[in-house]
Amino acid sequence: MPELPEVETVVRDLRPLLVGRTIGAVRVGRHKLRSPWKPAWTPRVAGRRIDAIDRRGKWILVRLAGDATLVLHLGMTGQLTVHPEPEPLADHTHLRFPLDDGRELRFRDVRRFGSATLFASPGALAEHLNARLGPEPFALEPEYWFAALRGTTRCVKAVLLDQTVLAGVGNIYADESLFRAGVHPGRRANTMTRTQAESLRCAVEVVLRRAIDGRGSTIRDYIGGSGLKGGFQEEFAVYGRTGQPCPACRTPIAVARHAGRSSHHCPRCQK
DNA sequence: CTGTAATCCTGCGAGC
DNA sequence: TGCTCGCAGGATTACA
């Protein structure tokens, strides 16, 4: 599922297809996503031009003419793609936004952990995002990051996954970043040295950049906004590689449980 | 404050 | 082949 690199890929794919187009209507499927589409939102979307498509953390922001923003989250299995309007609907398509060029934006989500919400004003949108998201990984201040780690006894993996500390990292890229930095996922955050904190901050940046270059990772369901799968799964060092040799020392990759998630790591390289 | 578990869902692979 | 079990990119809530 979509973490920052996958969401960034979707946004980059959709931007040229959607910006400048006008949404003609909203078609809602029988099953609700995480929360139901409110009928009151439809007139605020239908007839509106799309001014911009942005990403914040794992959230997709479709900025509409006027003050409203359509906010989408892909959850675990969400797909957001553009199709010719007559094209048959795939199973689990829950929302459709026909456009003025004969195509249609479709939100498909097998597990329905995704969400689609409308925020009527920039203030309401900011309130929602600010309550949930810390800084973007590419704008992470070293001092802020070090202080965030030193200020808690939680394990480092839990801090990486905490969207209010750092926005956009999920289970795959947390594990890959920790391996790259040589830090064990169960390491207590408040025992990290300044050097290790900086090493981890850089590792997160490098891993995310490379994953974006690879158009994200497809484990099973993920596809970009143009329908293409990702390629970064071919470059995983540890994620999903339990029992296979560590790329650095050949020790079998182990899996442990941290913050309720599987943590793939090398027991020899990561301290 | 932490950690853990359950919740929302469907699908798939492993094991019997 | 067919069944059950556990697990999966996430976020939120309840509870110890």
Residue A133 CA and nucleotide C12 C1' are separated, in Å, by: 14
* Token code pair at residue A27: 């078609």
Quote the pLDDT of residue A1. 67
User: How far does the CA of A229 sit from the C1' of B2, in Å?
Assistant: 38
Of residues A55, A58, A63, A180, which has the active-site annotation?
A58
pLDDT, tens digit, 9 for 90 and up, residues A144-157: 999 999 999 999 99
CATH number reported for the structural domain that contains residue A182 in this entry: 1.10.8.50
Q: Look up the domain containing A99 and give its range.
A: 4-132
Inter-CA distances, A149 with A72, A73, A113, A188, Å: 30, 27, 29, 9
* pLDDT for the residue numbered A81: 98
| Mean pLDDT for the stretch of residues A224-247 | 96
Q: Which of A132, A153, A180 is the last residue of a domain?
A: A132
Instruction: Report if residue A13 sits inside a domain.
Output: yes
Handedness of CA A140, A210, A62, A169 (dihedral sign): negative
Is the model's pLDDT at A104 over the cut of 70?
yes
Kindly state whether residues A127 and A221 are assigned to the same domain: no
pLDDT at A117: 97
**Mean pLDDT to the nearest integer, A171-186:** 98
Catalytic residue among A49, A154, A210, A261: A261
CA angle, A73 then A216 then A60, to 5°? 25
pLDDT tens track for A117-136? 999 999 999 999 999 999 99
**Whether A161 and A73 share a structural domain:** no
Q: What is the CATH number of the domain that holds A109?
A: 3.20.190.10
Predicted pLDDT at A64: 98
Of A132, A158, A191, which residue constitutes the final position of a domain?
Answer: A132
- Give the contacts of A86 (CB within 8 A, at least 6 positions apart): none
What is the average per-residue pLDDT within A73-81? 97
pTM score above 0.95: yes
Backbone angles phi, psi at A264, to 5 degrees: -90, 130
Q: Residues of chain A with pLDDT > 90: what percent? A: 100
Q: What is the mean pLDDT of chain A?
A: 97
